[in-house]
Amino acid sequence: MNLGEGEETIVELAEAWRNPEEWANIRGLVYRDGDQVTSTGERPFIENIDALPLPARHLIPLGRYRALGLPISMTTSRGCPFRCIFCVGRKMVGARVRYRNPLKVVDELAYLSTLDFNQINIADDLFTAARKHCLAVCDEIIARGLRIRWTSFARVDTVSLEVLQRMKAAGCTAVSFGVETGNPEMLKRIKKGITLEQVVQAVQMCKDANITPHASFILGLPGETRETIDETVAFGEKLKSMGVLHGFHLLAPFPGTEVRENCQAYDLRIESHNWNDYHANRAIVSTRGASREMLDEVVLAWEANFDIWLDRIKKRRASGEADEEEAWPLTNLEHTVLIYDLMMKEVIENLDPIPAETPADATGDLTGNATGLALERLVDRVDNSVEQPADEILRTLNHATQRGYLRLTQKNGYSHWAWNDYL
C-alpha cells in the first residue's frame, strides 16, 4: 500500500522490487512481511508538480473509455485547504494547494482535445481554490482560441460571476458543487464551511453565466434523522426548480477521514468493513435517528424516478414524438450498456476472422457501403452473446463504427473487427 502521493514511491519500488530488504528505505510504503506489517513513513508531498511527466496515456486503451462515453480527466493542481470531515482527499494530497503552470495545463488540454472525447473533466479537488490560477488557465485557453468543452469541481464560496463567465468563455459547460445536506446545523457539524444561502447564490450565478450547475448530497452524515433527510430532499427539489441537476450519495467512511476515526463521538455506526461496499450507492452506516433502510429509501426512490423518466423518453421515441436531442440520454445509455457488455464478455475479440466479401482500400479499411453490409453480418454473429434486440445492437454497432470506436479491416482476404483501443 502507498502512503500519500505515489509517483516517486512507485518508481523506487519498481527499481527495488526484487530486493525486499531494500523496501524499508523507500518512504511512503506499507507492506506485510509474514505476520509483521511495516510502514516506512509518509513521503513528503511533491513540491513542484510541474516536474512530473504527463500521464502515459498512449499506453492505456483509452479508446475503450471513449467508446463507453466517459470523459477524459486531468488535473491542474493538488491539495485542498478545507476540512470536511467525510473527505479523504486531504489525506492523500495535503492541505496546501500546489498549482501547475497554466501554460502547461493548457498544453495538456489542447492535446486532450485531439482525442475526440465528448468531455474533458478537470478533476482538481477544487479548481476554483485560487481565483488567480483559475483565471490564468481560462485566459490562456481563450488566447489560443481553443474550442473545447470541459467541466470542473468548485465550492459555492469560491466562485463569482466574473470567474464563472470567464470559465464559460473558455469552454466550461458545467460545474459540480458539493452541497452535502439541506440542514444548516449538519453543514456546521461536518465542517463544510458554507451556507444554504451561498448555494442558492452560486447556482444563480451559474445560470447567469450559462453554465450548468450540478449539486451532490451525502446521506448518512453525523446527526442524520428522518427530518434532516426530508430537509435535504426538499432543498434538492428547490435547486431542481432552479435548473440544477442533482443526485445523492451515501456516506462511505474511508480510513483516514475524521468521520471514521471519531465515529463514536459522531454517533455514527459503521455497518460494513468490506471495501467492495464502499461505492456510495447503498448505505453502509447508520445513525441513532436514521437506519440503513431509511437512507437507502431516498436513493432507491431517486433511481426509480430516473427509470420512469427514461421509460417516458422510450415511449416518445417509439411513437416518433421525441426528436434526436430529447431521445439522446436514453439512446446514449443503451449504447453504453451494450458496448460495456460486449467488452466485458470479449465478444468482438473472440470473433473468428471471416472471408472478406468486398475488397478494402490500400489501408485495409472498407467503404461505407461495405461496412454497412458487414455490420448486418456482425449483428448476427454477436446476437446470441448479449440480451439486447437485434435492432438495438445494429444501432449501437453503427454508432460505434461511425465514431471510430469499432473498426473493420481486411488482411489476407479476411475481415477483422476490433475496438480502436489506442489513440
Q: Is the pLDDT of residue 359 over 90?
A: no
Give the homologous superfamily in CATH for domain 49-303.
Aldolase class I (3.20.20.70)
Q: What is the pLDDT of residue 358?
A: 58
CB atoms within 10 A of CB 34: 5
The residue with cell 457501403 is: 369
Q: State the pLDDT confidence band at 140, using cuts at 50, 70 and 90.
A: very high
Determine which of 94-103, 162-171, 349-358 has the lowest per-residue pLDDT on average.
Answer: 349-358
Mean pLDDT of the chain: 93
| Tens digit of each residue's pLDDT (9 = 90 or more) over 17-44 | 999 999 999 999 999 988 999 999 989 9
Q: Which tens digit of pLDDT belongs to each residue from 179-228? A: 999 999 999 999 999 999 999 999 999 999 999 999 999 999 999 999 99
With 90 as the cut, is the pLDDT of residue 53 above it?
yes
Distance between CA 362 and CA 409 in Å, rounded?
Answer: 10
Q: What is the pLDDT of residues 259-271, one digit of tens each?
A: 999 999 998 999 9
Average pLDDT over residues 370-385: 86
304: phi then psi, degrees, rounded to nearest 5: -65, -40
Domain limits, the chain: 7-39, 49-303, 351-419
